[in-house]
Amino acid sequence: MSKTKHGAGKKSHAGLFERAKRSLAGGVNSPVRSFRSVGGDPVFVKRAKGCKIFSEDGRRLIDYCCSWGALILGHAPDVLIKPLKRALERGTSYGMPTAVETELAEMIVAAIPSIEQVRLTSSGTEAVMGAVRIARAYTGRDKVIKFEGSYHGHSDYLLVKAGSGASTLGIPDSLGVPQDFTKHTLVVPYNDLPQTQATVEKYAKEIAAMIVEPVAGNMGVVLPEPGFLAGLRKLCDAHGILLIFDEVITGFRLIYGGAQNYFGVTPDLTCLGKIIGGGMPMGAFGGRRDVMAMLAPLGGAYQAGTLSGNPVAVTAGIAALKCLARTRPYAKLARLAQELCAGFKQAAEASGTPVEINSIGSMFTVFFTERKVIDFKTAAAQNGALFRDVYHGLLERGVYFPPSPFEANFISTGHTKKDIRDTVRAFGAAIKGRCQTQVAF
Ligand SMILES: *Cc1c(COP(=O)(O)O)cnc(C)c1O
């Protein structure tokens, strides 16, 4: 366990969590933070810099959650601090247009060719809600196809077989969502083109949109099989269905632009979030000009937000994207991820533990399973007990993974080769410790 020099003022996480639970429902403001699926008390963060989290109980942790992928530049990057300070001094919200909103919109439009126009929101959930609404308005149809294990935010009609948070907690369908609200949501397995085709053909004239994560990140990382995304594009074209790419994770994660640029498949609409807010609350949806014209005040589809296009969040987004455009860290991040995953694989093999590691660019998931992971079913077949043990073994050794076996891990520009080596060493020890514990029992 790594300790910081400044031991004074240390607070136990158990105590902080107890206190939190008295006034916050479940002690958290988003369920996966609660450590339900790995057990124990969540880590309370005091501050963070680069790839390091400094916890309230005085530990230093190498972070692979990175605010669920939002922090591709790591925590508190210098390039954001000055612009954010200046933005704060100019005012935090006006509820009136600003030039900086246009600047961010122009950057998004320039980076992702399929996006002719964009609207900014305050979260990825809202971005998806807006995209689906205008798709329904444009097509005059009601039904939406989503893929099992994909998460598109917590709106009622998309909380069906929705990956990480919901799967982790064993509530794939949330309470409080009327059946009537999900009856237009059709769910098919990820990477299963024949079944998607069968579903499309069955409901052809009723389907407004198909929404897909071009790389699934909410059942752990699952890559699209060759031809899957292009196949969806063809199906949509054949039936007048709008294709929506939910790039809340993948936008500006794999390259400067969308995963759509990376894979060469063009959606009609795109949802963004996480990275484009530079760590501030932000989402965006955009796409074809004729579809975006459905949106009020141009058209009859209503969508709004008091803090949408918030000047502080927009300033953070611009600074983050400018830095990514200038430095293009993607190849370097991918190399670090490859080194890390190779180290994991080696350590797992040395201990005789079967693992499947899915990775692309700077995102990855280690699945404790012998079978290739290509969809939710194969992701769910992993060894959850082993994940929990290794999870806590890593945490004890100063490595923070997102606390669920159904999550993507992320590498940021704050991670160094040394961090990667330290993490591989911790992983090796954690997995070995697990095996020894088993033998001892
Ligand atoms: C995180 C996420 C969302 C929801 O974004 P929020 O900002 O949490 O509302 C939507 N889609 C995907 C793919 C995500 O990973």
3-class SS string, the chain: CCECCCCCCCCCHHHHHHHHHHHCHHHCCCHHHHCCCCCCCCCCEEEEEECEEEECCCEEEEECCCHHHCCCCCECCHHHHHHHHHHHHHCCCCCCCCHHHHHHHHHHHHHCCCCCEEEEECCHHHHHHHHHHHHHHHHCCCEEEEECCCCCCCCHHHCECCCHHHHHCCCCECCCCCHHHHCCEEEECCCCHHHHHHHHHHHHHHEEEEEECCCECCCCCECCCCCHHHHHHHHHHHHCCEEEEECCCCCCCCCCCCHHHHHCCCCCEEEECHHHHCCCCCEEEEECHHHHCCECCCCCECCCCCCCCCHHHHHHHHHHHHHHHHHCCHHHHHHHHHHHHHHHHHHHHHCCCCCEEEEECCEEEEECCCCCCCCHHHHHCCCHHHHHHHHHHHHHCCEECCCCCCCCEECCCCCCHHHHHHHHHHHHHHHHHHHHHHHHC
Q: Is 274 a catalytic residue?
A: yes
Question: Measured on CA atoms in the order 111, 115, 121, 127, is the torsion positive or negative?
Answer: negative
The verdict on the CB of residue 218 being under 6 Å from ligand 1 is yes
Measured from the CA of 249, which atom of ligand 1 is nearest?
15
Dist. CA 180–CA 424, nearest whole Å: 48
The verdict on the CB of residue 124 being under 6 Å from ligand 1 is yes
Cis peptide before 297 (omega within 30 of 0): yes
**With a threshold of 0.75, does the pTM exceed it?**
yes
Measured from the CA of 250, which atom of ligand 1 is nearest?
13
Taking the centre of ligand 1 as the mean of its atom positions, its distance from the CA of residue 435, in whole angstroms, is 36
Q: What is the pLDDT of residue 161?
A: 77
Dist. CA 304–CA 281, nearest whole Å: 15
Dist. CA 273–CA 247, nearest whole Å: 7
Neighbours of 47 (CB within 10 A): 11
Mutate to test the pocket of ligand 1, among 72, 122, 152, 244 (most ligand atoms within 8 A of CB): 152
Q: What is the pLDDT of residue 289?
A: 98
Residues 6+ apart with CB under 8 A from 255: 261, 262, 330, 361
Residue tagged active-site, from 138, 151, 391, 400: 151
Taking the centre of ligand 1 as the mean of its atom positions, its distance from the CA of residue 154, in whole angstroms, is 8
Domain spans of the chain, in order of start = 3-64+329-437, 78-327
| Residue found by looking up tokens 């937000």 in the block | 305
Q: Please choose, from the candidates 363, 287, 235, the residue with its C-alpha nearest in 3D space to the C-alpha of residue 127.
A: 287
Q: How many residues does the chain have?
A: 441
The verdict on the CB of residue 283 being under 6 Å from ligand 1 is yes
The verdict on the CB of residue 128 being under 6 Å from ligand 1 is yes
- Do residues 320 and 72 lie in contact, with contact meaning Cβ atoms separated by under 8 Å? yes
Dist. CA 219–CA 148, nearest whole Å: 9
Q: What is the CATH number of domain 3-64+329-437?
A: 3.90.1150.10
Q: Is 237 a catalytic residue?
A: no
The CA distances from residue 86 to 38, 80, 105, 241, 335, in Å, are 40, 10, 20, 44, 35
Dist. CA 324–CA 312, nearest whole Å: 19
Give me the tens of pLDDT residue by residue for the chain, a chain 441 residues long.
444 455 568 999 999 999 999 999 999 999 999 999 999 999 999 999 999 999 999 999 999 999 999 999 999 999 999 999 999 999 999 999 999 999 999 999 999 999 999 999 999 999 999 999 999 999 999 999 999 999 999 998 898 877 655 544 444 468 888 888 888 999 999 999 999 999 999 998 999 999 999 999 999 999 999 999 999 999 999 999 999 999 999 999 999 999 999 999 999 999 999 999 999 999 999 999 999 999 999 999 999 999 999 999 999 999 999 999 999 999 999 999 999 999 999 999 999 999 999 999 999 999 999 999 999 999 999 999 999 999 999 999 999 999 999 999 999 999 999 999 999 999 999 999 876 655 443
Dist. CA 110–CA 107, nearest whole Å: 5
Q: Please choose, from the candidates 162, 216, 168, 217, the residue with its C-alpha nearest in 3D space to the C-alpha of residue 185.
A: 162
Neighbours of 349 (CB within 10 A): 11
- Do residues 51 and 63 lie in contact, with contact meaning Cβ atoms separated by under 8 Å? yes
Dist. CA 306–CA 308, nearest whole Å: 6
Q: What is the pLDDT of residue 160?
A: 82
Q: What is the CATH number of domain 78-327?
A: 3.40.640.10
Q: Please choose, from the candidates 394, 332, 296, 373, the residue with its C-alpha nearest in 3D space to the C-alpha of residue 38.
A: 394
Taking the centre of ligand 1 as the mean of its atom positions, its distance from the CA of residue 8, in whole angstroms, is 37
Taking the centre of ligand 1 as the mean of its atom positions, its distance from the CA of residue 205, in whole angstroms, is 29
Taking the centre of ligand 1 as the mean of its atom positions, its distance from the CA of residue 117, in whole angstroms, is 20
Residue tagged active-site, from 146, 192, 274, 375: 274
